[in-house]
Homo-oligomer: A and B are copies of this chain.
Amino acid sequence: MNKKVDQAGRFLRYSVPIHLINLITAILPNCTPTVAIRGFLMRPFFKKCGKGFRIASGVIINNPERIEIGDNVYIAHNNWINGVGGLRIDANVRIGPMSVIVTSQHAFENGKMTSGYIPAPVRIHAGCWIASKAVITDGVEIGADSLVAAGAVVTKSFPAQSKIGGVPAKLIGKPGDA
């Protein structure tokens, strides 16, 4: 099958419905039923998506056909999430407003940016809390029950039960520390 046709088919099957659900549900006020309804409607348009998915308004989702989401995941307003390099978000993860998850980066040759991309998958294990305005970059794996502090830019992987903060992000303790 022609690659362009295949790409267009995936776009119509996954990305367009998510866009339309975002447009239509934008008229609903922000509350528990709204985020549950939006999540329920979007579920069929990811590679996989578990039960109890909740998502607030204004989230940009690129390449949802490469994104796997576990049960009871919550994503807050205005996140920007790109699944192009492969993304897995496990059960009970919560992501705060205005966070960014990228799964690729622009390629460079001889100090010049090319038109190419280098993809690298991201995995966020179960029970993590990604606080507001964090960035998770390509190739990163965050262990279970970790806390990514507000505004952190995570450029490398961390083990389970890490509390991570700063730009670039470092280990700063355990979740639940005062």
A: residues with CB less than 8 A from B are 11, 15-16, 19-20, 23, 26-27, 29-31, 56-58, 60, 62, 76-78, 80, 92, 94, 96-98, 100, 102, 106, 108-113, 127, 129, 132-133, 135, 137, 145, 147, 149-153, 155, 161, 165-168, 174-176
- Bound Cα distance A110, B177 (Å): 10
Whether A133 lies near B30 (C-beta < 8 A) is: no
- Bound Cα distance A94, B31 (Å): 27
Shortest Cβ distance from A131 into chain B, in angstroms? 8
Whether A31 lies near B60 (C-beta < 8 A) is: no
Whether B77 lies near A77 (C-beta < 8 A) is: no
Which B residue sits closest to A20, measured CB to CB? B29
Copies in the complex: 3
Whether B165 lies near A111 (C-beta < 8 A) is: no
Whether B132 lies near A176 (C-beta < 8 A) is: no
In the complex, which residues of chain B have a beta carbon less than 8 angstroms from the beta carbon of A20? 29
- Bound Cα distance A150, B78 (Å): 17
In the complex, which residues of chain B have a beta carbon less than 8 angstroms from the beta carbon of A176? 108-111
With A98-B98, A151-B135 as known contacts, state yes or no: A113 contacts B62, CB within 8 Å.
no
**Counting chain B CB atoms within 10 Å of each CB, which of A60, A62, A76 scores highest?**
A60
Whether A100 lies near B135 (C-beta < 8 A) is: no
Whether B15 lies near A19 (C-beta < 8 A) is: no
